[in-house]
């Protein structure tokens, strides 16, 4: 879409502010209408839940997420519909022209994600979206999403990721993500942030940011799961919603659903005071039940039965695996694993190796790490497993399918987003090499 590097020069906030001004973005209106979603895992699902609730409430709802899976249009949605190619091309030209002017003036290069964030702002403003959900790219302190200045934000979870940019401790990482919230706002923290509560209460105190935590102020109970849905009870403040349903698989989705419900309740309190409680509860129920988000424990084939997960941090991978086993059982799986070259192979291997008897290690075309190194890690951790190396995702696809059919086994694809999505592309009959990742 843009002839730009992935990242621009240094910190982007000043040039992004100038770009939004040149595009005549009403940032004050955007601030009042928006939520910002940050976190290590669960951002996409939580953003999808929020957008589905807003749509169910009758609001024209914009959703900006990253990364996309198959088409860049997926990043920009209104009421669940991705932007058309025609609109995307037109807005891209306008953004590119504005970026050239600002870059020439400031002597700075923009990054591709910055350009896409600006495009989302322009798209949602010109379509007069009444409710907008922005997912951060990396962190929150210097991410473009900070330009939204949202009063209602979340840190869905925290794990070790992008440590060169965010810091090498969970305290540093969660602090960076928390800075997407405007002073005087509210941050909803996911369940795995609770251990950091003392730090976060002090970190947010001087900006008068309210810190709320899933399983503390936001209560979950009555959890139950089946293959096609999950149920849970939700309580927050005066709200007590029983037997909420979620179609997304994985017990970790209850954390994300609870965050989304609490975010929307806080947003309506601020942006639309006086709305009837019964209408809000109905929207939350319908939105959570109808929300869909591909890539997380997604069944992509029935013959052989194949599940993919795009989780890419150790905690996210472990949670997805635990949910896979809870839903479908532990036995009779073939693991196809691949790790991006910028991820920690040892940590990914430790999260997966012991749970599988047959493992095929491979490399995605985009950012794929060394499959031999991953295989060595898997064999060291689980010397009893049969570990194979498939140099390409196409070889892994063919080998796993043949094995699964001969053994009447099932396939689980995990370890990183690009591995999972390129495998899913092959299932769809697409060329994995042609997927336009950023």
Provide mean pLDDT across the span 37-41.
95
Q: What does the angle CA 256 – CA 257 – CA 263 come to, to the nearest 5 degrees? A: 90
Per-residue pLDDT reduced to its tens digit, 420-431: 999 999 999 999
pLDDT of residue 438 exceeding 80: no
Would you say how long the chain is, in residues?
Answer: 438
Residue 365 to residue 340: CA distance in whole angstroms: 10
* 304 or 314, higher pLDDT: 304
Look at residue 277 in the predicted model and tell me its pLDDT.
86
Q: Residue 274's pLDDT is what?
A: 87
Least confidently predicted of 64-68, 216-220, 434-438: 434-438
Tens digits of per-residue pLDDT, 2-35? 889 989 999 999 999 999 999 999 999 999 999 9
With residue 298 as reference, give the H or E element that holds it. Answer: strand 298-302
Core vs surface per residue 265-290: b (16+ CB within 10 A) or e: bbbbeebeeeeeeeebbebbbbbbeb
Predicted local confidence at residue 164, as pLDDT: 86
User: Residue 301's pLDDT is what?
Assistant: 97
Query: pLDDT tens for residues 243-257?
Result: 999 999 999 999 999
Query: In Å, how far are 75, 184, 318, 377, 381 from 154, measured between CA atoms?
Result: 19, 14, 22, 35, 35
Taking the CB of residue 21, how many other CB atoms lie within 10 A of it? 12
* pLDDT for res 350: 95
Confidence class of residue 116 from pLDDT cuts 50, 70 and 90?
A: very high
Contact 355, 317 (CB under 8 A): no
Q: How far apart are CA 51 and CA 32, in angstroms?
A: 15
pLDDT band at 203 (very low <50, low <70, confident <90, very high): very high
The CA distance from 340 to 395, in Å, is: 17
Cβ(369)–Cβ(343) below 8 Å: yes
Are 422 and 366 in contact, with CB atoms under 8 Å apart? yes
Q: Determine whether 428 is exposed, middle or buried from the number of CB atoms within 10 Å of its CB (0-12, 13-18, 19+).
A: exposed
DSSP 206: T
If we measure between CA atoms, which residue out of 155, 144, 132, 114 comes closest to residue 30? Answer: 132
SS3 content of the chain, % helix, strand, coil (to 5): 45, 20, 35
Phi, psi of 226 (to 5 degrees): -130, 175
End-to-end CA distance of the chain: 10
pLDDT at 436: 85
User: In the prediction, which pLDDT does 141 show?
Assistant: 96
How large is the average pLDDT for residues 218-231? 92
Distances, alpha carbon 342 to alpha carbons 6, 163, 348, in Å? 15, 11, 12
Residues 6+ apart with CB under 8 A from 9: 108, 109
Per-residue pLDDT tens digits for 347-378: 999 999 999 999 999 999 999 999 999 999 99
| Average pLDDT of the chain, as a whole number | 96
Mean pLDDT computed over 330-342: 96
Confidence (pLDDT) at 169 = 96
Tokens of 269: 């309190």
Instruction: Tell me the mean pLDDT in the region 214-220.
Output: 98
Report whether pLDDT(127) > 80. Answer: yes
**Where do the H-state alpha helices sit in 78-169?**
85-106, 112-126, 163-166
Token duo for residue 316? 């996210």
In the predicted structure, residue 226 carries a pLDDT above the cut 90: no
pLDDT digits (tens, 9 = 90+) for 139-184: 999 999 999 999 999 999 999 988 888 999 999 999 999 999 999 9
77 - beta bridge partners? 63, 82
- Distance from C-alpha of 16 to C-alpha of 23, rounded to nearest angstrom: 10
Could you give the angle at the alpha carbon of 294 between the alpha carbons of 33 and 401, nearest 5°? Answer: 170
pLDDT at 193 over 80: yes
Structure confidence at residue 228 (pLDDT): 85
Do residues 124 and 130 lie in contact, with contact meaning Cβ atoms separated by under 8 Å?
Answer: no
Q: Specify the pLDDT at position 93.
A: 97
- In sequence order, the 6+-apart residues with CB closer than 8 A to the CB of 232 are 220, 221, 222, 223, 224, 244, 246, 254, 257, 258
User: Using CA atoms, how far apart are residues 34 and 150, in angstroms rounded to an integer?
Assistant: 6
pLDDT given at position 317: 94
Question: What tokens appear for 123 in the block?
Answer: 């798209």
- The DSSP letter of residue 110 is P
Assign 199 a pLDDT band (cuts: 50, 70, 90).
very high
Residue 54 has pLDDT above 80, yes or no: yes
pLDDT, residue 78, reads: 98
Q: Which two tokens stand for residue 217?
A: 């102020």
């Amino acid at each position: 879409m843009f002839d730009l590097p992935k990242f621009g020069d240094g910190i982007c906030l000043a040039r992004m502010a100038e770009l939004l001004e040149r595009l005549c973005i009403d940032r004050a209106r955007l601030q009042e209408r928006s939520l910002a979603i940050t976190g290590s895992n669960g951002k996409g699902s939580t953003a999808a839940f929020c957008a589905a609730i807003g749509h169910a409430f009758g609001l024209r709802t914009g959703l900006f997420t990253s990364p996309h899976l198959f088409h860049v249009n997926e990043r920009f949605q209104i009421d669940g519909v991705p932007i058309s190619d025609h609109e995307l091309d037109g807005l891209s030209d306008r953004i590119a022209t504005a970026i050239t002017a600002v870059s020439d003036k400031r002597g700075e290069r923009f990054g591709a994600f910055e350009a896409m964030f600006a495009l989302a702002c322009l798209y949602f403003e010109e379509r007069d979206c009444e409710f907008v959900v922005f997912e951060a790219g990396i962190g929150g302190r210097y991410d473009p999403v900070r330009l939204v200045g949202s009063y209602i934000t979340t840190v869905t979870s925290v794990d070790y990721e992008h440590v060169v940019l965010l810091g090498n401790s969970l305290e540093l990482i969660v602090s960076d993500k928390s800075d997407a919230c405007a002073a005087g706002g509210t941050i909803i923290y996911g369940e795995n942030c609770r251990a950091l509560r003392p730090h976060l209460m002090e970190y947010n105190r001087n900006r008068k940011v309210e810190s709320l935590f899933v399983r503390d102020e936001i209560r979950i109970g009555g959890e139950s799961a089946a293959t096609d849905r999950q149920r849970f009870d939700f309580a927050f403040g005066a709200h007590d919603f029983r037997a909420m349903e979620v179609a997304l698989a994985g017990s970790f989705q209850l954390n994300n659903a609870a965050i989304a419900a609490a975010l929307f309740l806080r947003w309506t309190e601020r942006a639309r005071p006086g709305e009837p409680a019964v209408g809000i509860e109905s929207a939350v129920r319908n939105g959570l039940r109808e929300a869909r988000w591909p890539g997380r424990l997604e069944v992509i084939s029935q013959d052989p039965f194949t599940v993919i997960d795009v989780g890419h941090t150790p905690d996210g991978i472990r949670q997805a695996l635990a949910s896979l086993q809870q839903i479908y059982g532990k036995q009779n799986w073939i693991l196809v694993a691949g790790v991006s070259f910028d991820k920690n192979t040892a940590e990914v291997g430790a999260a997966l190796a012991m749970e599988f008897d047959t493992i095929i290690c491979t490399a995605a075309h985009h950012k794929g790490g060394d499959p031999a190194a991953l295989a060595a890690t898997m064999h060291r951790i689980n010397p009893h497993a049969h570990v194979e190396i498939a140099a390409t995702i196409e070889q892994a696809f063919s080998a796993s399918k043949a094995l699964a059919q001969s053994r009447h086994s099932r396939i689980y694809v995990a370890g990183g987003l690009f591995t999972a999505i390129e495998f899913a592309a092959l299932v769809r009959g697409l060329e994995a090499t042609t997927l336009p990742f950023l």
